C-alpha cells in the first residue's frame, strides 16, 4: 500500500512540476528585439483613429528565449525637464508620454499573451494582456483586443507596427 501511495505522490508531484514549467520560447516567431514605428488607436465608439503617441513614437519590444519580455513606448516630442530632478508638472508630462511593462510571455497560433509582473502603471501589474500578431519579413504587427486604453480609458483597439532590430 505504501508503495502505491508513494507512486501516486510521485506522479502527482511530477505532473504539478511539469505544469509549472514554462513553454520553450527558443523558437518563438516573434523572438528578438523590435523598434516601434507606429501606434494607431481606434476608438470603438466613434471609430476615430489617432496616432496615440504622435507620428514618430519610439520604443522597443523584446521577446527572449527565456519567455521574458518587455515593452517601452515613448511619445513623439517628449520634452526633457529643465533640471535633473523634474518638477511635478514635468513628471506628469513625462509619465503621460510613457508606457512600459515587463513580464513573461506565452504564445499560441497568432496570439501572444503578456503576463505582466512589473509596469509603469501599477493597475497593469498582475494582469495578462493578449495581443494578436503577424510577422511580414522584418515587420511585426501587433493588434490589441478591445480594451480600455491605458492612455485615456476609452474602449479601443490599438495597432502597433515594429521593425526587427538587427
What the chain holds in terms of domains, given with CATH numbers, is 24-164 (2.40.128.490)
Q: Would you state the pLDDT for residue 114?
A: 98
pLDDT digits (tens, 9 = 90+) for 32-87: 999 999 999 999 999 999 999 999 999 999 999 999 999 999 999 999 999 999 99
148-156 CB contacts, 8 Å cutoff, 24+ apart: 149/41, 149/52, 150/99, 150/121, 150/123, 150/124, 151/41, 151/52, 151/96, 151/99, 154/43, 154/44, 154/45, 155/43, 155/44, 155/45, 156/41, 156/42, 156/43, 156/44
Across the chain, mean pLDDT equals 88
Residue 97's contacts (CB-CB under 8 Å, 6 or more residues apart) are 53, 74, 75, 78
32 with 62: CB under 8 angstroms? yes
What value does the mean pLDDT take over residues 111-120? 97
What value does the mean pLDDT take over residues 90-119? 97
- pTM for the full predicted model: 0.83
- pLDDT value at 156 more than 90: yes
Residue in the structure block whose three cell numbers are 480600455: 148
Q: Report the C-alpha gap between 62 and 164 in whole angstroms.
A: 10
58 with 71: CB under 8 angstroms? no
Q: Report the C-alpha gap between 105 and 114 in whole angstroms.
A: 5
Q: Would you state the pLDDT for residue 8?
A: 39
Q: Would you state the pLDDT for residue 23?
A: 67
* 152 band by pLDDT with thresholds 50, 70 and 90: confident
Please state the separation of Cα 33 from the chain's center in Å.
Answer: 12
- pLDDT value at 20 more than 70: no
Q: Which three cell numbers stand for residue 2?
A: 505504501
Q: Report the C-alpha gap between 57 and 36 in whole angstroms.
A: 7
The residue that leads in pLDDT, 70 or 21, is 70
Amino acid at each position: 500500500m505504501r508503495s502505491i501511495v508513494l507512486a501516486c505522490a510521485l506522479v502527482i508531484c511530477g505532473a504539478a512540476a511539469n505544469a509549472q514549467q514554462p513553454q520553450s520560447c527558443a523558437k518563438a516567431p516573434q523572438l528578438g528585439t523590435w523598434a516601434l514605428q507606429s501606434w494607431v488607436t481606434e476608438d470603438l465608439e466613434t471609430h476615430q483613429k489617432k496616432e496615440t503617441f504622435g507620428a514618430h513614437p519610439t520604443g522597443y519590444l523584446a521577446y527572449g528565449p527565456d519567455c521574458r519580455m518587455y515593452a517601452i513606448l515613448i511619445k513623439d516630442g517628449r520634452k526633457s525637464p529643465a533640471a535633473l530632478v523634474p518638477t511635478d508638472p514635468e513628471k506628469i508630462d513625462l509619465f503621460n508620454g510613457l508606457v512600459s511593462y515587463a513580464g513573461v510571455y506565452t504564445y499560441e497560433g497568432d496570439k501572444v499573451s503578456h503576463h505582466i509582473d512589473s509596469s509603469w502603471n501599477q493597475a497593469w501589474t498582475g494582469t495578462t494582456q493578449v495581443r494578436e500578431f503577424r510577422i511580414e519579413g522584418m515587420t511585426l504587427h501587433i493588434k490589441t483586443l478591445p480594451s480600455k486604453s491605458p492612455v485615456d480609458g476609452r474602449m479601443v483597439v490599438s495597432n502597433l507596427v515594429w521593425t526587427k532590430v538587427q
